[in-house]
Amino acid sequence: MNRGQLVSIIVTTRNEQDVIKKLLISVVRQTYQNIEIIVVDNNSSDKTREIAKRFTKKIFNFGPERSAQRNFGAKVAKGEYLLFIDADMELSKDVVKECVELIEVNQKVGAISIKEESIANTFWEKIKAFERSFYNLEGDPATDAARFFSKKIFNKVGGYDESITGPEDWDLSDTIRKLEVKIGRISAIITHRERVSSLFDLAKKKFYYALRLHRYLEKQKVSVVSSKTIYFLRPVFYKNPAKLISHPILTLGMFIMLSFELFAGGLGYLLGRFKKL
């Protein structure tokens, strides 16, 4: 294909020296080549920036959270399109190509979600990967969030809400849908390293992200009791009972993991709402 419109690929980092090289290699190997790489680091104390310099000169230091980092990356981006990715991901070779083709062919599409497949080694990483596999079957309205955007649409809605940490991806996608702009989906995948050290680690992360969940729920008028907040209300888990039955250990582990996350998230939500964080 011809060079087409410039795509700005924005990577947010903080101490990602163990994974950033593989991600950036996957970026430069894209079949769609008219790209720029922007790395927005948040005061890394390791070799993250040193490694990134081998792939791009556009490296910035900004914080305090990933929403602010992403918005800053969008501000300095020169591209017509924006793709936001995390350092612990890798892109299959046609991700950018398929995103550009879809958004340019279908004028109703202004943003695109991309399926993620997990790379898992530890027991709890495999459990988390099992959970994510349900969302990837046909997509899931409760969990899907866009990563690729028309910069025009992104700027129109004001980018990521920097007052929200955790569900800011959902918030941005929900805001875009209110414009009656369609969020598309491509077949190319992103692989994601789960990097889960323990069940406590998962619960701790869920607690932190839930501290400002009340802001998202109130802004988007989402019930506190919904498939967004209560994992066991998500229909994707019940559309394929054979999968649950055929993997009893993974299913039990997922039930335990989601229960821990739900409890930790509930505590975070209550604390955040009570203290008005």
Q: What is the mean pLDDT of residues 171-190?
A: 95
Q: CA-to-CA distance for 199 and 203, rounded, in angstroms?
A: 6
Residue 258 included in any domain: no
Q: What is the mean pLDDT of residues 175-202?
A: 94
Query: Does pLDDT of 54 surpass 70?
Result: yes
Residue 151 included in any domain: yes
Residues contacting residue 151 through CB under 8 Å, at least 6 positions apart: 8, 74, 77, 79, 80, 81, 82
Query: Does pLDDT of 1 surpass 60?
Result: no
Residue 153 included in any domain: yes
Residue pair 114/189 in contact (Cβ under 8 Å)? The answer is yes
Q: Give the whole-number percent of the chain exceeding pLDDT 70.
A: 98
What is the DSSP secondary-structure string of the chain? ----S-EEEEEEESS-TTTHHHHHHHHHT-S---EEEEEEE---SSSHHHHHTTT-S-EEE--SSHHHHHHHHHHH---SEEEEEETTEEE-TTHHHHHHHHHHH-TTEEEEEEEEEEE--SHHHHHHHHHHHHHTTT--TTT----EEEHHHHHHTTSS-TT-SSTHHHHHHHHHHTTT-EEEEEEEEEEEE-----HHHHHHHHHHHHTTHHHHHHHHT--SSSTTT-GGG-GGGTS-HHHHHH-HHHHHHHHHHHHHHHHHHHHHHHHHHHTT-
Residue 204 included in any domain: no
Residues contacting residue 51 through CB under 8 Å, at least 6 positions apart: 17, 20, 21, 24
CA distances from 264 to 144, 194, 207, 225, 258 (A): 22, 19, 5, 15, 10
Residue 165 domain boundaries: 7-198
Q: Please report the pLDDT score of residue 4 as a whole number.
A: 86
**Strand 89-91's sheet: what is its strand order?**
59-61, 35-41, 7-13, 81-86, 148-150, 109-119, 182-193, 89-91
Q: CA-to-CA distance for 52 and 36, rounded, in angstroms?
A: 13
pTM: 0.93
Residue 109 included in any domain: yes
Query: Does pLDDT of 159 surpass 70?
Result: yes
Q: Grade residue 24 by pLDDT with cuts at 50, 70 and 90.
A: very high
Residue 247 included in any domain: no
Q: What is the mean pLDDT of residues 147-163?
A: 97
Residue 2 included in any domain: no
Instruction: Residue 140: give its domain's CATH number.
Output: 3.90.550.10
Residue 168 included in any domain: yes
Q: Please report the pLDDT score of residue 139 as a whole number.
A: 76
In tens, the pLDDT along 194-248 reads: 999 899 999 999 999 999 999 999 999 999 999 999 999 999 999 889 999 999 9
Phi, psi (5° rounding) for residue 10?
-110, 120
Domain count for the chain: 1
Query: Does pLDDT of 141 surpass 80?
Result: no
